[in-house]
Structures are given as structure tokens and as C-alpha cells.
Structure 1
Amino acid sequence: MATVEITREHNLGKETARERAEKLADKLAQKLGAECSWEGDELTFKRSGADGVIRVSDQLVEVTVKLGLMFTPMAGMVKGEIEKALDKYLA
């Protein structure tokens, strides 16, 4: 099992960052076929073989994704895709 962790700073304010994190989660949901749900400032997403959380604070967005054995070989690709999406949505 592999874990991908990414943290990005932002100057958007918590609400705007949360809205953009939701767009990122929607993209992940489409690509991975994941189900997403908010609980406070944490958006969790789950699917067979992968799950994770996006945490939004006033200055940071943190993404943690746990990959099952089947997806472990793709950890680098998954990290790169999330980094690109964070750079796009938090710009």
C-alpha cells in the first residue's frame, strides 16, 4: 500500500479554497469513480483500491491518498496529477 501526501499553501481564504478543493474532488471522482463527502473542513473520497482526504484551512490545502496494492505502482503518476490539479485550482 502506498500513501501520497501533498500540501499546498494558498492566499485564497478558506471558503474560496474549499470551493476549489471541491472542484478538485469532482475531478478525482470522475477519474477514479470515487464517492466524495464533506465533514467539516475535510472532504473524503473513496473507491475500491483508493481513498483519501482533502483538508482545507485558512492557508493550506492538504491531500492524502492511500492507494491499494493494485494502484501502488501508479503512485508517482497519481501524485503528479494531483499536484498539477492543485496548481491549477489554487492559482
Structure 2
Amino acid sequence: MARIDIQRDHHLEAAQARAVVDKVAARLGEKFGTTSRWEGDTLRFERSGVKGGITLEPALVRVQAELGMLLSPMKGMIEQEIRQKLDQYFA
């Protein structure tokens, strides 16, 4: 299994940061077919072969995911997509 762990600082208010995470999750859903739900300050996402979460802290956003064997070869592409969206929305 491949693991992804990406962190970014942010300076957004809690409601703004949550709205941004919703946008990122929607994009992941469109591109990779994930479903998502909020559990406290963590948006959990999953689909066959991947599960993870996007956790919001007051000045930090963290994306963690575990990729199954079929998606492990796509780790670089998936990480790149996540980094681009985090940079776009949290920069």
C-alpha cells in the first residue's frame, strides 16, 4: 500500500477553510470517484482502493490517504493533483 501525507499552512477562517476543503473533495470525487463525509474537523473520503482524510486545524490543513495495490502506481499523479489544489486554494 502506498501512503500520501501532505500538509499546508493556511490563514483562513474555519468556515472558509472548510469551504475550500469541500471544493478540493468535490474535485477528487469528480476525478477519482471518491465519496466523502465530515467527521468533526476531518473530511473522510474513500472509494474502492483508497481511503483517507483531510484534517483542518487552525493554521494547518493535512491530507492523508492510503492507496490500494491497484492505485499505488498512480501515487505520483494523485499527490500532484492534491498539491495543486491545496496550493490553488490555500496559497
Report the TM-score range of the alignment, normalised by the length of the smaller protein.
over 0.9
Contact in 2 for aligned 1:14/1:59 (Cα 8 Å):
no
Within-5 A mapping of 1:8-23? 8-23=8-23
After superposition, give the CA deviation of every residue in 1:44-88 in whole Å (9 maximum; x if it has no partner).
Answer: 011001111000111000000110000111111111110001001
- Is residue 28 of structure 2 the alignment partner of residue 28 of structure 1? yes
Matched ranges for 1:61-80 at <5 A? 61-80=61-80
Report how far residue 29 of structure 1 moved. 0.9
Structure 1 unaligned residues grouped into runs of 5+: none
Identity of aligned residues (%): 43
Normalising by the residue count of structure 2, what TM-score does the alignment of the two structures yield?
A: 0.95
Equivalent position amino acid for 2:10 in 1: H
- Structure 1 ranges of 4+ moved more than 3 A: none
Please provide the CA RMSD for this pair.
0.8
Q: Is the 8 A contact 1:54 1:62 kept in 2?
A: yes
User: In the alignment, which residue of structure 2 is the partner of 1:52?
Assistant: 52
Any stretches of 5+ residues in structure 2 without a counterpart? Answer: none
Once the two structures are TM-superposed, the CA of residue 11 in structure 1 deviates from its matched residue by: 0.6
Superposed CA deviations along residues 6-48 of structure 1, whole A, max 9, x for unmatched, are 0000011222111101100010011111110001100001100
